[in-house]
Structure 1
Amino acid sequence: MRGLYLKARNLPEEPGWKEVLIENDDDLWYLRSIISRGDLVRATVLRREEKKGDMERNKEQKRTPTKVTVNVEETFFQPFTGRLRISGQIVESSSEIKGNYQSINVSPQDEVEIFKENWSEASEDLIGEAQLKWVGNDILFIVLDDEQCDIFTIKAYGIESHGRIFSGKSGKGYEQQKSASTYYSEIERAINSFSAIKIIVIAGPGFEREKLFEYLTGSGKFSKVKVTTIPATRSDENAIYEVLTDPSLASIGNVSRLKMEKEKTERLLKEISRNGNVTYGYDNVLETMNTGAIEEIMITETEFRNERTIKLLEKASSYGIKVTIFSDETEYGKIVQGLGGICAFLRYHVESGN
C-alpha cells in the first residue's frame, strides 16, 4: 500500500494558512489543482545575492536560502517529471526583493505553505483524497501481444509509459525473429528495474499474457510480488482503462482515482445518450443548480481553477453538492472538457439547453 502521501495541517497562529509536505508526483498534481491565481504561497528558495550598483549579474554569485511569499499568478506542472513551478510577485520577504517576481520550484520532499481567503469544500476534499492509500502506486502494468509489450505505471492524474519491447515477430525485423524466451527475458529485465513494485498486472488479448505469466511465476524470481493476468481487448494504453474495473483489482483496495473517473464518465455518457438526469456546460449547470436538482458536479482541473467557477463551487457547497475533479491528462478528463469542462448528475430530470 502507498506508505507516503501528502501531509497537510492548518497553521493555527495564521488563519487561512496550511503547511503542506510533498511526498511524491501525485502530491504535486493535487497541489497544482488546489492552488489558484491570487492565492499566497510561502517557501524557501535559493536567490543570488545582489548588490546595488552591480551592472552585471555574476553567474558565480553565491545563492542563499531566502523565505518568500508570492501572490500566485501562474502554476505549471509537467506530468511525470516530479516538478511543479509556482510563479508570482513577491509580497513578503526582505525589502530588497519585495515586488520582484519569483518562481518557486516544488519537488517531492519539499514543504510549502498556502494561503486562501476561503478554503472551499472541494479543495479540502482534494487534500483529504491525497492522503488516501492508493494501491495503484505499487502496481506495474504489462500490456502485450505476440508482437510488442508496453510497460506502464499509473498516477493520480494519468498513465505513465515506461517504454516498449518488440518481439521481432513482424515488421522489417522479421528475419531476425527473437525466440519467445528472449522476448520474455527482455520483459523480465525491464520489470527488475522497478524495485518498489508489489503487484504486476499482465493484460492484453490472446494467449501471450498467459505465457508471460507462466514464465514469470515459473522462474521463482517474483515470489514476493503478486503477479496476476487480466484479459483485455486492446494491447496499448487503453488496456489499462479496461482492466481498472476488473473485480480482481477491486479486491485489493483503492487502485486509482482513474477507476473513479472511468465509472463516472461511463455513467455520464449513458445518461446523455438517453437524455437522462444529467446536464453539462457552465451556464446549464449554474442554471440547474438553482432548481436544487444537482446531486454531483464533475469538473476538470482547468475549469476548477477558473476564476468564474469559484462562486459556482461556493454555491454548490452551500447546497451540499459533491464535487469531483477530473485530471486534464486522462481520457475521461478530456471527455468532460469536451462537454464544457463541467457536468452534473441530477436527482431528477430537468430540461436544459443541452
Structure 2
Amino acid sequence: DKLRSDRGVKKTFTLGVSVEDVSFHIFTGKLRIIGSIIKGPEDLIPLGSHHTIEAKLNTPIKIFKEHWSSYALKRINQAIEASKKLSAIIVVLEDDVADFGLMRQFGIEYYGPVMGNVSGKRIIDKNRAKNIEKFYQKIVDYILKFDNIQTIVLAGPGFYKNDFLNYLELKHKDLAKKSIVEATGSGGRVGINEVLKKGTVEKLAAENRVAFEISAINEILQEIAKSSNLVVYGKKQVKEAINLGAIEKLLVLDNLIRSEDLEESMDMVENMSGEVLVISSQHEGGKQLEGLGGMAATLRYSIN
C-alpha cells in the first residue's frame, strides 16, 4: 500500500489486513478489500485500525486462508488458464454509436460507447464519407486496446455493421478475418445481450465461459419447462438434494457465494462426483438463475 506523509512524500510498504468485507466494482475494475490491519509499519499506521485496499488489474496480492475449498482452488486454476485464452468481442453499431461487450471466461465486460459525428440519414454530404471513416477508425482503435481478440461479432439493427465490415476488409484485413455479422433488433447493451441469447458466440467460441454458463442455465430451464423430476431450484430444495447425494450438476450464482457460506455444500457435491458451476451474475443467464433463487441443479435420480 502507499501513504503520503505530512511532507508529501509517498512511502510504499507491505500491509497485512484481516479481511472483513470484499466488493468488486465492475465499471472501475477495482477490488475493494476492507479489514483491520494486522501487519505493517506501526510508525505509519497503527495495528488494529481499519483500512481499505483498492486493488486493480495486475496488483500483486498474497491471500492466506486456513482452509481452501476444492471448488475455490478449481475456480482459481480455471481463471489462470482462462487468462491465457483468447477472447471474443461483440461490437454493436447503431447510427453513430458503437457499444462493446468483451467476452471473458468468467463474464462479460461492457465498454463504450464510442461516438461518431455521422448524420442519421444517408444524405449526400461531402464530409460524410470522411466522418464515417473517422468513426470506423475510432472503433478499430478501441478494439485494438484489448489483447488476444480471436473473434469479433459485428451486430446491430441497421446497415453500419455491414459497412464497418467492408471498411475492415479494405483497411484492416487481419481484423476482417476474425469478424462475422449478426443482425439484432436493438443497439447498445440490449443488442449485446441479444447476440448472447442467439448463441452466436457459443458457436464461434465453444470454450467461452459465458456461453457455457448460458447453455447450462438453458438446460435447467428446459427441464423445468418439462416439469421434470430431475431438476430442483431454490436454496431449500437444492440443499435437501445435496444432503441426499442426488446432485449431478449444481449451479450457484456468484453473488450468493459472497453473501452466504456455501463452501461446505459445494465441497459435498464435488466429493460425491457431482459438478459445480459458479454462474456469473453479470450476464442474462445469471439473472435467470437469480430468478430461480440463485441455486439450481440437475439430479441423478428423482427425490420426490
> Structure 2-normalised TM-score?
0.81
C-alpha separation in 1, matches of 2:126 and 2:234: 52
The equivalent residue for 1:162 is 112
Q: Which moved more, 1:119-128 or 1:243-252?
A: 243-252
C-alpha separation in 1, matches of 2:302 and 2:258: 28
For 1:152, the equivalent position in structure 2 comes to 100
Q: Is the 8 A contact 2:251 2:296 kept in 1?
A: yes
Match of 1:186 in 2: 135
CA distance in 2, matches of 1:135, 1:149: 31
Matched, 1:345 2:298: yes
Aligned counterpart for 1:329 among listed residues 250, 264, 282: 282
Structure 1 runs of 4+ aligned residues shifted over 6 Å read 173-178
The residue number in structure 1 matching 2:25 is 78
Which residue is 1:24 aligned to? none
Residue by residue over 1:152-188, the C-alpha shift from the partner in whole angstroms, topping out at 9 and shown as x without a partner, is 1314332313115465336xx9999984774354123
- Residue in structure 2 matched with residue 260 of structure 1 by the alignment: 212
> 229, 238, 241: which one pairs with 2:180?
229
Indicate the RMSD between aligned Cα atoms, in angstroms: 3.2
Once the two structures are TM-superposed, the CA of residue 206 in structure 1 deviates from its matched residue by 5.9
Where structure 2 has 5 or more consecutive residues not aligned to the other structure, the ranges are none
Deviation at 1:123, TM superposition (A): 0.5
Q: Distance in 2 between matches of 1:205 and 1:334?
A: 24
- After superposition, residues 264-283 of structure 1 pair within 5 angstroms as 264-276=216-228, 277-283=230-236
Asked if structure 2 preserves the Cα contact closer than 8 Å seen for 1:120 and 1:314, the reply is yes
2:71, 2:267 within 8 Å by CA — same for their partners in 1?
no
Q: Structure 1: where are the runs of 5+ without partners?
A: 1-44, 50-57
Aligned to 1:122: 71
Matches within 5 A, 1:36-115: 45-47=1-3, 58=6, 60=7, 62-94=9-41, 97-115=46-64
Q: Which has the higher helix share?
A: 2
The change in CA–CA distance for 1:174 and 1:262 in structure 2 (over 3 A counts) is farther
Q: TM-score, normalised by structure 1?
A: 0.71
Q: Flag the 1:212–1:284 CA change in 2: closer, same or farther, 3 A.
A: same
Q: Is the 8 A contact 2:18 2:38 kept in 1?
A: yes
8 Å CA contact 1:158–1:329 kept in 2: the answer is yes
The answer (yes or no) to whether the contact 1:295–1:344 under 8 Å persists in 2 is yes
Per-residue CA distance 1:2-47 (angstroms, 9 max, x = gap): xxxxxxxxxxxxxxxxxxxxxxxxxxxxxxxxxxxxxxxxxxx124
Partner residue in 2 for 1:195:
144
Indicate whether 1:319 and 2:272 are aligned: yes
Task: Provide the rounded CA distance (Å) in 2 between the counterparts of 1:209 and 1:340.
Answer: 38
Moved more, 116-125 or 161-170: 161-170
How do 1:289-308 and structure 2 match up within 5 A? Answer: 289-308=242-261
User: Partners of 1:140 and 1:157 in 2: how far apart?
Assistant: 12
Shift of 1:251: 4.8
Instruction: Report the alpha carbon displacement of residue 134 of structure 1 after superposing the two structures with TM.
Output: 5.9
- 1:268–1:184 Cα change, 3 Å: farther
| 1:133 Cα deviation after fit | 4.0
Q: CA deviation at 1:286?
A: 0.8
**Partner Cα separation in structure 2 for residue 82 and residue 91 of structure 1:** 26
Contact 1:241–1:259 under 8 Å retained in 2: no
259-268 vs 135-144, which moves further: 135-144
- 1:30 aligns with none
Question: How much has 1:267 moved relative to structure 2?
Answer: 1.5
Instruction: Name the SS for the 1:275 alignment partner.
Output: coil
**1:89 touches 1:102 (CA, 8 Å); kept in 2?**
yes
Structure-2 separation of matches of 1:71 and 1:292 = 35
1:127 deviation in Å?
0.8
Q: Which amino acid aligns with 2:272?
A: Y
The amino acid that maps onto 1:200 is I
Equivalenced residues, count = 292
Distance 1:118 1:206 in 2: 53
